[in-house]
Amino acid sequence: MIRRLAATLTAALLLAGCATAEEAPDPLGMPERPTPAAHPPGLIGEAEDAGVTPEGAAVRLFRYASRDARGGPMEVSGAAFIPAEPAAGPRPLLVLAPGTWGMADRCAPSASVARGSIPDQARHFTALGWTVVQTDYQGLGTPGLHTYMVRAAQAHAVLDIVAAAVQLDPALGDRPPTAIAGYSQGGGAAAAAAELQPEYAPDLDLRAVDASAVPADLVEVTRGVDESPLSGVVGYAINGMVAAYPELAEPVGAAINDEGRAFLAEVRDQCLNDTGAAFGFRSSAELTADGRTMAEHLTDPGFGRLLAEQRIGDRVPAAPVIMAHNVTDAVVPFGQARDLARTWCAAGAAVRFLTVDESVGPMESHGVADARTRAERNEFLYHAVVGDAPIAPANCGEF
């Protein structure tokens, strides 16, 4: 069975137990992170019914075991959408890697599901007879701070939820044909999962990945997002990096001023709309001790090695990938995502890159590629998994 599932669902109920917490690093006053007990990745810890979608799919909220950026145990929450109709064979699985929702636990995508909000792709694919699962990532809905944009932690959460899914829905079988989809933060998580899957989850039957509006290079993204409508998410990234790598607290503390410290503390308890309203269009230079931007500080030696670990593009996906991005994206720069696609192509990956060139408002510019290409990306995933027709070919060399 996928990902070392040796224990039963009953035994998994022990997952919620915690060990001692790490000491909060100074000088940022980061919250303590409890260390969950170690369990096989994907093992279900808690699961509860949360109703039924208008399309008839059962909704379940759950927690599962995974591995953090350094391979230690972490607990992750998520949601599952399971069709009521029986499956003729192993049921296909779609893993959703959500975009940015915020840092506070109340912002977790599963919290929105609990309030009755069902993702569009969950509606679409459950209507086709697929099971759909969506992760919250580390610390978003579980104890500790959300490790926003930390490559390995996000990739592990995406890959390990497959093993959780097969416990929730026996119709999936032991090794369901699987696709992964994400946009923006989710695009980064999907891309990182695609790269790590051959090594981290080699027995996963991953047939296609949709990784769109990918923030592949955090220095370029930090530079691009500065003074944008979502400039405040720089605080999410810094907080997330320090949560994953406490030794960064010292160089971060030396780089920021009192306003920067207050900013990092405030965004920890915010959802995206709050952060946009409070810190949109701000320059990060206002938050640093020397007046340099956060992107300039990220090139300093104190950040180099750990920042390099976040770069997407140093490994090669085995599954075919479809990507989409708007040339005029004012939040996640187009060039660094196109460079990722070209790098993958040069390494032999099968990549289809969809370019949208539409000038709209600064906030709308980031999401327009999702709206314009969603149908084509869904179709790509469907045919790759079901195998009823050829998927759209790679277009390496054409972008």
Q: What string of H, E and C letters represents the secondary structure of 44-59?
A: EEEEEEEEECCCCCEE
CA atoms within 13 A on the CB side of 38: 2
Q: Where in the chain is the domain with CATH 1.10.260.130?
A: 220-308
| Cis amide leading into 119 (omega within 30) | no
Note the pLDDT of residue 88.
82
Q: Where in the chain is the domain with CATH 3.40.50.1820?
A: 9-217+315-386
Q: 220-308: what fold? A: 434 Repressor (Amino-terminal Domain) (1.10.260)
Note the pLDDT of residue 8.
31
Note the pLDDT of residue 1.
40
Q: What is the DSSP string of 243-291?
A: HH-GGGHHHHHHHB-HHHHHHHHHHTT-BHHHHHHHHTT--GGGGBSSS
Other CB atoms within 10 A of residue 347 CB: 13
**Whole-Å CA distances, 168 to 96, 177, 181, 368:** 16, 16, 20, 34
Report the amino acid identity of residue 178.
Answer: T
- Give the whole-angstrom CA distance, residue 376 versus residue 355: 12
Classify domain 9-217+315-386 by CATH architecture. Answer: 3-Layer(aba) Sandwich (3.40)
Note the pLDDT of residue 6.
31
**Whole-Å CA distances, 290 to 5, 218, 243, 260, 287:** 51, 21, 24, 12, 9
Note the pLDDT of residue 15.
32
Note the pLDDT of residue 11.
32
Helix or strand or coil: residue 93? strand
- Give the whole-angstrom CA distance, residue 194 versus residue 212: 12
Note the pLDDT of residue 27.
60
How large is the C-alpha radius of gyration of the chain?
A: 20
Q: Give alpha helix (H) positions in 7-134.
A: 9-12, 109-114, 120-127
- Give the whole-angstrom CA distance, residue 326 versus residue 158: 25
Question: Is the CB of residue 60 less than 8 Å from the CB of residue 168?
Answer: yes
Mean pLDDT by 10-residue block, N- to C-terminus, for the chain (399 residues)?
A: 35 32 56 82 94 91 97 97 89 98 97 96 96 98 96 98 97 97 98 98 98 96 94 96 94 95 97 96 96 94 89 97 97 97 98 97 93 98 95 97
